[in-house]
Amino acid sequence: MPIYHKLGNLPPKRHVIFENPKGGFYYEQLFGTEGFNSHSTLMYEIHRPTQVKEIISYSREEALRLGNDFIGTEHLVLGLIRDGENTAVKILKSLNVDLYELRKEIEIAVKDKTGKNIANINSLPLTKQAEKVIRITVLEAKAL
């Protein structure tokens, strides 16, 4: 059974252009952990969430590079570091965190040493923690 949670106004129909009363359009984004095979969230965004998509893409690439068959919070941090131009990296730099050392320590902690093959490289699931981090990030960004 679907679980619905409403924040703001929703369009009368899904998968249509929904006009913002202030001008412009909202963008529809379906977010799930395993494509259409598991729970997903349909969100309407004021701006295209491209930076988040890029960071998740980088995180996926980092997980594959390290031989992991999932995307965890560690991979999200590696994706943020790889992106380089985001608020998280600016905060870490302002706290004098050595990003090279942080990256190296995360890689040592999560690198798969078994040499197993990843069954489906096109569909890496997010861990529950990573999914929660992304969900909270989206909600916080909307609140700004």
Name, in order, each residue with C-beta under 8 angstroms of 47's C-beta and a sequence gap of 6 or more: 27
Q: What number is the average pLDDT over the span 59-72?
A: 91
Q: pLDDT tens for residues 17-38?
A: 566 677 666 666 666 655 556 6
* Domain ranges for the chain: 48-143
Edge-first strand listing for the sheet containing 25-32:
18-19, 25-32, 40-45
Q: What CATH architecture applies to the domain 48-143?
A: Orthogonal Bundle (1.10)
Rounded Cα distance, 10 and 4, in Å: 12
pLDDT digits (tens, 9 = 90+) for 91-107: 999 999 999 999 999 99
- 41-45, 51-55, 133-137 — which one is most confidently predicted on average? 133-137
pTM of whole model > 0.85? no
